[in-house]
Copies of this chain bind each other. A is one copy, B any other.
């Protein structure tokens, strides 16, 4: 079994941002030389997510509004008694999840026609990391 590990770093300008990282994942896969296996892509933080969906700007705004309707910012969360103000970002992370697993076949991400990998930042304007872990042969 071979394995390959990479870390991406983000420091977004806005508090919430959605960044297409499909190219970075593909580049890591090429570097790994792995032809059959899986890629795990995961946020290393509890206020950010990695998800797979469409690269359509209207939909990304829909997703952002929908997440904020189900896990609203500005609420008086108990977590804020610690001095934090990001309770909503923790809940958004749980809703979208922090990780995806992508199958690798013939050295490629084995994706359907519209699948793209996104990093979703919910508490940005500081240094955050994503891990890409590839295992296979």
Interface residues of A (CB under 8 A from B): 1, 3, 5, 36-38, 40, 42-46, 51-54, 56, 58-59, 61-63, 66, 70-71, 77-82, 87, 90-91, 93-101, 103, 105, 110-115, 129, 131, 133, 135-137
User: Contact: A58 with B78, CB < 8 Å?
Assistant: yes
Copies of chain A in the complex: 3
A111 to chain B, nearest CB (A): 7
User: A115 near B70 (CB under 8 angstroms)?
Assistant: no
Docked CA distance A76–B66 (Å):
12
Binding site secondary structure of chain A: mixed
Contacts of A54 in B (CB 8 A): 46, 79, 90
